[in-house]
Amino acid sequence: MATGTYAFGASVMTVEATQQSTDRLLHSLEQAFGSDVIITDPDITVGYERDESRFTHSHRPSAVVAPQTRDQVVACMELAHEFGVTVVPRGAGSGLSGAANGRGDSVTLSLHRMNRITAIDPGNRTVVVEPGVVTADLRAAVAEAGLYYPPDPGSVDFCTIGGNIATNAGGMCCVKYGVTADFVLGLEIVLADGRVLRTGRRTVKGVAGYDLTRLFVGSEGTLGVVTEATLRLVPRPCPAQTLVASFPSLESAGVAVSGIVERGFTPSMLEILDRTTIRAVDDLTKMGLGTDVEALILAQSDDPDATDVLAGIEKICVAAGATDVVASDDPAEGSMLLEARRMALPALERLGDWLLDDVCVPRTQIADLISSIQEIADRTKLTIGVFGHAGDGNLHPTIIYDEKDTESKQSALNAFDEITSRALELGGTVTGEHGVGHLKKRWLAEEQGPVGMDVHRAVRQALDPNGTLSPSVLFESEEQ
């Protein structure tokens, strides 16, 4: 066995002591619930080593605990607290910041088996779910009741509600409907010591006490484990109409986006794809999006007056220099274009090694951000695919590089830093939706400043003084 030490909270344990503590935890869980809840086969636990991020530290977890009930989560956390074992909660592992990555000294707590939709309440427009429900399944289930759950990350078909809550996931709907936080009314949380906390409410309004629900949304598994969520639903909207505009330059598409926002339009989707992304998607899907197009804007409206909304957006696109604008009220065509957008990351992945950024600026600054990314790409000679939720000011510049070439790798990291820094200069944030995880710890400190980080640490210390939950996420000084 390897020797060494692991630090967590205030204490330091040897590798041997950590393994013994983990063994005791697993043994106790097995005694109480049977061997089904525990996975130690290294061929399987290796699948829990990392999420979908790059450039993030990861290790095969010492074991995976896969509970089916809240009581099993409680037992796991009580035992982890008692024996000093660290725990990393995990949903589907689709995260893009490394927050669900395993640690060699930690147990990964995979919530994927807790996947029941407990109650849909059409009268109050709410749904109660367990954390392992796949987001697309939830959306389909409530649609049958004539209701709509808007959050739709690009990973909607495989990510989980628990992961969405813990990352405050966004998606294409945010420009009109907001982010996951806007739909979470209340949570059931198992705290780091195993106590069960209920936050929030099931009512439309409610102001009793601090807004603990919001505190846990976006906490990336560092403050507690979500075991149940009460979510707000809205009436099912009209079928969306879609518009696609082609531009002769990425900058002119950026100007159109700023114009659409400034003029007060609220499309239900406003996405942008640059030439690199369009070509990559075309190569993968053979959709024929256009070989001579420099940028595309995809807009949808699900308002009753969608035709007028899209006509207004069309005018702004043409004024900004769009060379071609096509509108369609055919839902099948709309879904196909949406699929093209969802394929952006998988398509860019095929171009080489990649480093994905996620920055968000005030929406009227989107054209400036785009110009800066173009300038960085030209200067560094790197291919940077740009796509994202332009209507929110949230872009995902994807830097393509060669992992085997040290210079190319360093250049990619420098470009990543430059883009992130530029977003801050423009009054934006270092992460619009993917979270801090491991990838952006330095940048969190940069954005929050010393007082902001002190408050973050105080909150964490109050809820998890031993550093049991995800000890290497968010905070720079904590051990990797």
Q: Is 220 in the site for ligand FAD (CB under 6 A)?
A: yes
| 53 vs 372, beta carbon nearer ligand FAD | 53
Q: Is 90 in the site for ligand FAD (CB under 6 A)?
A: yes
Give the residue, chosen from 61, 102, 154, 334, that forms a contact with ligand FAD under the rule CB under 6 A. Answer: 154
| 190 vs 278, beta carbon nearer ligand FAD | 190
Q: Is 130 in the site for ligand FAD (CB under 6 A)?
A: no
Angle at the Cα of 467 from the Cα atoms of 462 and 468, rounded to 5 degrees: 115
| 434 vs 440, beta carbon nearer ligand FAD | 434
| 74 vs 327, beta carbon nearer ligand FAD | 74
- DSSP character for 374? H
Instruction: Compute CA distances 286 → 217, 281, 352, whole Å.
Output: 39, 8, 19
Give the residue, chosen from 61, 67, 150, 153, that forms a contact with ligand FAD under the rule CB under 6 A. Answer: 153
- CA–CA separation, 166 and 178 (whole Å): 16
Tokens of 289: 């999006």
Shortest spacing between CB 163 and ligand FAD, in angstroms: 2
Shortest spacing between CB 26 and ligand FAD, in angstroms: 20
Query: Which amino acid appears at position 116 of this protein?
Result: R
Shortest spacing between CB 378 and ligand FAD, in angstroms: 27
Shortest spacing between CB 226 and ligand FAD, in angstroms: 4
Buried b (16+ CB within 10 A) or exposed e, 396-434: bbbbbbeeeeeebbebbeebbebbbebbeebebbbbbbb
- CA–CA separation, 158 and 152 (whole Å): 11
- DSSP character for 351? T
Nearest to 167 by CA among 95, 263, 225: 95
- CA–CA separation, 158 and 134 (whole Å): 6
Q: Is 159 in the site for ligand FAD (CB under 6 A)?
A: yes
Q: Is 45 in the site for ligand FAD (CB under 6 A)?
A: no
Q: Is 96 in the site for ligand FAD (CB under 6 A)?
A: yes
Give the residue, chosen from 105, 294, 303, 433, that forms a contact with ligand FAD under the rule CB under 6 A. Answer: 433
| 259 vs 428, beta carbon nearer ligand FAD | 428
Q: Is 147 in the site for ligand FAD (CB under 6 A)?
A: no
| 92 vs 233, beta carbon nearer ligand FAD | 92
Q: How big is the site for ligand FAD, counted in residues (CB under 6 A)?
A: 36
Give the residue, chosen from 61, 170, 254, 428, that forms a contact with ligand FAD under the rule CB under 6 A. Answer: 170
| 226 vs 257, beta carbon nearer ligand FAD | 226
Q: Is 167 in the site for ligand FAD (CB under 6 A)?
A: yes
Give the residue, chosen from 89, 200, 334, 393, that forms a contact with ligand FAD under the rule CB under 6 A. Answer: 89
Cβ atoms of residues 169 and 163 within 8 Å: yes
Shortest spacing between CB 463 and ligand FAD, in angstroms: 12
| CA atoms within 13 Å, Cβ hemisphere of 49 | 12
Give the residue, chosen from 221, 254, 397, 428, that forms a contact with ligand FAD under the rule CB under 6 A. Answer: 221
Buried b (16+ CB within 10 A) or exposed e, 104-137: bbbbbbbbbebbeeeebeeeebbbbbbbbbbbeb
With contacts defined by CB under 6 A, name the span among 1-9, 95-103, 258-266, 411-419 that binds ligand FAD.
95-103
Give the residue, chosen from 111, 233, 348, 463, that forms a contact with ligand FAD under the rule CB under 6 A. Answer: 111
| 166 vs 386, beta carbon nearer ligand FAD | 166
Q: How far is the first Cα of the chain from the last one, in angstroms, to the nearest whole number?
A: 20
Bridge-based pairing state of the strands 398-401 and 383-385: antiparallel
Query: Order of strands, edge to edge, in the sheet holding 241-247?
Result: 324-328, 241-247, 295-301, 269-274, 387-389, 394-395, 359-360
- CA–CA separation, 70 and 371 (whole Å): 49
Q: Which residues contact 473 (CB under 8 A, 6 or more apart)?
A: 98, 99, 220, 221, 222, 436, 437, 438
Name the residue with tokens 């697309």: 136
Handedness of CA 395, 429, 441, 88 (dihedral sign): negative
Q: Is 131 in the site for ligand FAD (CB under 6 A)?
A: yes
Q: Is 300 in the site for ligand FAD (CB under 6 A)?
A: no
Binding mask 351-370 for ligand FAD (x = CB under 6 A): --------------------
- Residues of this chain that interact with ligand FAD (CB under 6 A) are 51-52, 88-96, 99-100, 111, 131, 153-155, 159-160, 162-164, 166-167, 169-171, 220-221, 225-226, 345, 433-434, 470
